[in-house]
């Protein structure tokens, strides 16, 4: 995922600039912390805050972070994204929508918007490999729903982001994921 975000930054100079200056990265759904560790490795100017709701994963994340050379720049905590209270704290946030129940996504995005620094970037992750046909699409959608996520379409994501206050939404296809970048206005 970090590689995909870095690839987008190569084509989006404004995002690239934010990744090289001091700031903080919010890793929603950090799991066992591998994305947080890779983000700290890739973007040395950023501190990383991972949040997750599943304590067994956070226990492993804490161990993985403690064993990493980037442990001084990474923190993990038990935190449901829809109750995030941070304000003006993050210059970049990762939101893995396939793992977030659709009922909390609008509130989660509003909370993330408040937690972003003015001008900060959100990367909204989707499954993005285009299905070969209607049956493949239906099966992919079923897997997402059974896994707790939702098969968001780009127009729905844009509407969600705009409703939360984000601007400049742009979609990127980086199979197997689709990504949508947006910004909190400066």
Per DSSP, 116 falls in state E
- Beta-carbon contacts of 83 under 8 Å, excluding residues fewer than 6 positions away, are 111
Q: What 3-state DSSP class applies to 141?
A: helix
Domain ranges of the chain: 2-179
The Cα-based distances of 53 to 28, 69, 104, 180 in angstroms read: 10, 25, 13, 24
**pLDDT tens across 16-67, in order?**
999 999 999 999 999 999 999 999 999 999 999 999 999 999 999 999 999 9
**pLDDT < 70 regions, the chain:** 128-131, 174-175
Of the candidates 149, 145, 147, the residue with the CA atom closest to the CA atom of residue 104: 149
Can you say how many angstroms the Cα of residue 185 is from the centroid of all Cα atoms in its chain?
18
Give bridge partners of residue 126 from the DSSP assignment: 178
| Domain covering 2-179, topology | Rossmann fold (3.40.50)
Distance between CA atoms of residues 23 and 153, nearest Å? 30
In a 13 Å sphere around the CA of 21, the CA atoms on its Cβ side amount to 12
pLDDT, residue 146, reads: 84
pLDDT, residue 177, reads: 75
């Amino acid at each position: 995922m970090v590689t995909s975000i870095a690839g987008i930054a190569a084509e989006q100079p404004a995002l690239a600039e934010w990744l090289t200056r001091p700031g903080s990265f919010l890793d929603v759904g950090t799991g066992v912390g591998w994305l947080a560790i890779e983000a700290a490795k890739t973007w040395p100017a950023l501190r990383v805050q991972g949040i997750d709701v599943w304590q067994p994963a956070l226990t492993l994340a804490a161990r993985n972070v403690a064993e990493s050379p980037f442990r001084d720049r990474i923190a993990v905590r038990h935190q449901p994204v829809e109750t995030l209270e941070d304000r003006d704290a993050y210059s970049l946030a990762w939101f893995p929508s396939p793992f977030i129940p659709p009922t909390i996504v609008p509130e989660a995005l509003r909370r993330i918007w408040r937690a972003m620094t003015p001008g900060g970037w959100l990367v909204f992750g989707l499954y993005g490999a285009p299905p070969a046909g209607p049956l493949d699409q239906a099966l992919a959608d079923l897997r997402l729903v059974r896994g707790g996520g939702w098969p968001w379409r780009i127009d729905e994501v844009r509407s969600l982001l705009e409703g939360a206050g984000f601007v400049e939404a742009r979609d990127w296809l980086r199979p197997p994921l689709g990504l949508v970048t947006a910004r909190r206005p400066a």
